[in-house]
Amino acid sequence: MTTNLVECINYVLKGAHNLPVTAIVRSTFYRLNELFTRKSTDAYERLRNGFTYSKFTTKRVEESFRRAGNIVVNRFDRRNEMFEVREMQDGTIYTVNLAQRHCDCSHFQVERLLCHHMLACCANQRLDWQVYVHDVYKMSEICKVYKGEFVPMGDPSTWDRYEGAKVIANWTLRRATKGRPKSTRYLNEMDSRDMRGPRRCTICGREGHSRSRCPQCAGPSSVRSH
């Protein structure tokens, strides 16, 4: 559950960051092939064994059912949509709206997976809790993620001759070997300190130096010079 999909497979590519470009491409290809092959095999095997949801989902639902036993449920409409639940341990009250897929704890809105408050409401009224689980957790959808298959590259001597455009490197864009590289990332509010104006002395108020180098500061060096 992240906005950056690269982070989902970042652990697979560890150790390939400092390799040459060709080696990075080769390492990425074979590591992703191993990942997709293994995940696809596990997903289809679990689907054939009759499981509807992934191991992660099943474990979370089982844990939520255990926690739902310590919740007091009050129904507020005849349509079985609006509920108020109270935690028996600390007395915290939450409002649950099954029709709008909403709970005050916000876990369901974020993960699209039933929290223990919503499961307690479903169990109280004998409702089918699977209706409120997002399809992304179903094994049928997970199998679609890994249905793509990689094709072996083979030996380079067996490849077809390349007839396309020839790419020539632009040496003016080569990174300097000395000095700190220039940042190209987008700035945000955390960079406000770097976006300030030139340094200003707190003693004389002039720009270009700090108070430690201010000519008006009577430091030990200025005393010796007189």
Q: Which residue has the tokens 């169990």?
A: 123
Confidence of residue 222 (pLDDT cuts 50, 70, 90): very low
Locate 134 and state its tokens: 């997002």
Looking at residue 38, its pLDDT comes to 93
Provide the strand spans (E) within the chain. Answer: 71-75, 82-87, 93-97, 102-103
The pLDDT tens digits for 114-146 are 999 999 999 999 999 999 999 999 999 999 989
Q: Of the candidates 161, 168, 63, which has an alpha carbon nearest to the alpha carbon of residue 115?
A: 63
Distance CA 116, CA 124 (A): 12
- Residues linked to residue 75 through DSSP beta bridges, in sequence order: 83
Rounded mean pLDDT, 20-26: 87
Burial of 121 (0-12, 13-18, 19+ CB in 10 A): buried
Looking at residue 213, its pLDDT comes to 80
Rounded mean pLDDT, 150-171: 89
Distance CA 125, CA 118 (A): 11
- Any idea how long the chain is? 226
The pLDDT tens digits for 3-20 are 566 677 777 777 777 788
Rounded mean pLDDT, 205-224: 69
Distance CA 83, CA 126 (A): 14
Q: Of the candidates 112, 66, 105, which has an alpha carbon nearest to the alpha carbon of residue 84?
A: 105
Contacts of 116 (CB under 8 A, 6+ apart): 63, 64, 65, 67, 68, 71
**147-156, 171-180, 198-207: which is most confident:** 147-156
Is 90 exceeded by the pLDDT of residue 57? yes
Reading phi first (left if > 0) and then psi (alpha if -120 to 50, else beta), residue 208 is in left
Is 80 exceeded by the pLDDT of residue 182? no
Distance CA 93, CA 4 (A): 34
Confidence of residue 211 (pLDDT cuts 50, 70, 90): confident
Is 90 exceeded by the pLDDT of residue 216? no
Contact 54, 139 (CB under 8 A): yes
With a pLDDT cut of 70, the percent of the chain lying above it is 85
3-state secondary structure of 19: coil
Looking at residue 137, its pLDDT comes to 93
Locate 158 and state its tokens: 């067996």
